[in-house]
Every structure is written in C-alpha cells, then in structure tokens.
Amino acid sequence: MIFSFFRKKKKPPREVIPQLHTDIHSHLIPGIDDGARDMEESILLLRMMKALGYQKVITTPHIMSDGYKNTPRLVREGLEALRRAAKEEEIDIEIDAAAEYYLDDGFYTQLKDPDILTIGEYLLIETSYISKPLEFDTMIFEIQAAGFKPMLAHPERYRYIKELEKEYAAMKEKGVFFQVNLNSFSAHYGKEAKRKAEFLSGAGMIDFLGSDIHRMKQAETLGEVLNDEILYGIFGNNTILNESL
Ligand SMILES: [Fe+2]
C-alpha cells in the first residue's frame, strides 16, 4: 500500500473535461480586419468552431482609430452577410457580433456612440502590446461610468506587464474582467504569454476564455488545447463566465 502514495496521479477521463459552447472573441467577418480574408475562409473557420463543439460565436472585429476604422454599422452588415453564408452552407451555429476596441485617443469618441458594440454588458477592449496607455485607469473608469463592464482581451499577451501579481491584481481591483486566449496555453504566442496565462489560471483570475481566431492554423491549435487536460485546471481554478453570454 505504501507504494500507492508514489503512484502517478490518474489523468481525468475525457468526459469530465468541461466543454466550451460559447466563444466571445474572434475575427470571422471577412475583409474588415486582420481576420478572415474572404467568406470562404470565414466559412472554413465557422465549420471548425462547430466541429470543436461551439454552439455560439460572438465575433469581434478590431475597431481602432489608427488602424481598422470599423464602425458598428459596418460590423452589423458584415454579421448579416456571415449569417446568410452560414445558413446557405447549413452550418448550425449561432452567430453574433461585437467588437474589440483598441484603447487609443479615439476611444472616448467610440465610447460616446449610442450604437457601441458590447457583449451583453461587457465591452471588449485591448491595448498596445508594448506600452500601457497612459490613461488606462481613466478609460476603465469612463467605461464603467458609461454603464459597461470592461473585459480586457488577452491580458497575458501584454509585454508591459512585468510584476504579474501586483499589476494584474491592481487591474482586477478596478473591476477589469480578464479574457484569456485559449491558445496562450499552447505557447502559440510565445513562452511569456504562456507563463502569464498559467499564472492567471493558477491565481483564479480568468473570467472568460476566447479563441481569438483569425486563421485556420489558430483553429487547429485551439483544437489541441480544447483536448488537453489543461482545461481541467482552468475550469477547476476559475469561474468561467462564457456560458452566461
Ligand atoms: Fe482579437
């Protein structure tokens, strides 16, 4: 019996690894950002999402004043076209759209738009990977004052975050929700992003999981992550809110 103590822990059976049915971050509307380049690619990605077990995708094109100058109207038109194409291709998946807002000087103007694209009560935001916006805290406050909950896309990918515990905790204290990319757990974005994703998971700081898929390669990596026991730890340590949306 004494040897049983040293026996390797049994891996959890596949069926107890939780399934994700709702994705809340992707770039599937063709031709309006760095995501799917045409409808053919959008359809391929949608088929892949469906095959991976997703029943609903809320796709989130970039909106940035110095890059992708998308508007809520453009996104909604793209969404309608994507829905039509998915129906024609008989892909049975619910499709919705919001946006991934880049925190730059133009953001305050976006925030005043009554047509602003939210995911329920959440506003998906991102920042530069290199430097934190000087007005980050003010922007978070303004988002909340406008009645939304800030959801920071891929907090594990920001290279300006150096003191993990301190800096992430400070954001959380301000009411920032964290959406981690599943592919970060596979080193798809490099070792540093993986380390930070694992830190956030271990600390129970993850609120949402996103695919952030732009291309088929990412969808393939996503398939591997979704079949990995790492999900067991993520769901064990964190309260994942995807299915509430
Ligand atoms: Fe994204």
- Give residue limits of the domains in the chain: 20-244
Expressed in angstroms and rounded, the spacing between residue 23 Cα and the centre of ligand 1 is 12
Expressed in angstroms and rounded, the spacing between residue 124 Cα and the centre of ligand 1 is 9
Beta strand ranges found along 90-239 (DSSP E): 94-97, 100-102, 122-126, 149-153, 177-181, 208-210
Expressed in angstroms and rounded, the spacing between residue 60 Cα and the centre of ligand 1 is 7
In this predicted structure, what is the pLDDT of residue 9?
Answer: 45
Expressed in angstroms and rounded, the spacing between residue 126 Cα and the centre of ligand 1 is 8
Ligand 1 (ion): which residues have CB within 5 A?
100, 212
Expressed in angstroms and rounded, the spacing between residue 163 Cα and the centre of ligand 1 is 24
Expressed in angstroms and rounded, the spacing between residue 146 Cα and the centre of ligand 1 is 23
CA gap 50, 102 in Å, rounded: 28
Expressed in angstroms and rounded, the spacing between residue 211 Cα and the centre of ligand 1 is 9
Expressed in angstroms and rounded, the spacing between residue 25 Cα and the centre of ligand 1 is 6
In this predicted structure, what is the pLDDT of residue 8?
Answer: 45
Paired strand residues for 182:
none
CB 27 within 8 A of CB 214: yes
State how far Cα 29 lies from the chain centre. 15
Expressed in angstroms and rounded, the spacing between residue 1 Cα and the centre of ligand 1 is 51
- The model's pTM is 0.92
Closest CA to 153 of 209, 193, 110: 209
Question: What fold is seen in the domain 20-244?
Answer: TIM Barrel (3.20.20)
In this predicted structure, what is the pLDDT of residue 187?
Answer: 87
In this predicted structure, what is the pLDDT of residue 40?
Answer: 97
Amino acid (one-letter) located at 170: A
In this predicted structure, what is the pLDDT of residue 232?
Answer: 87
Expressed in angstroms and rounded, the spacing between residue 157 Cα and the centre of ligand 1 is 11
Task: Please list the pLDDT of the chain residue by residue as tens digits (245 residues).
Answer: 444 444 444 455 555 567 789 999 999 999 999 999 999 999 999 999 999 999 999 999 999 988 899 999 999 999 999 999 999 999 999 999 999 999 998 999 999 999 999 999 999 999 999 999 999 999 999 999 999 999 999 999 999 999 999 999 999 999 999 999 999 999 899 999 999 999 999 999 999 999 999 999 999 999 999 988 888 899 989 999 999 99
Expressed in angstroms and rounded, the spacing between residue 59 Cα and the centre of ligand 1 is 9
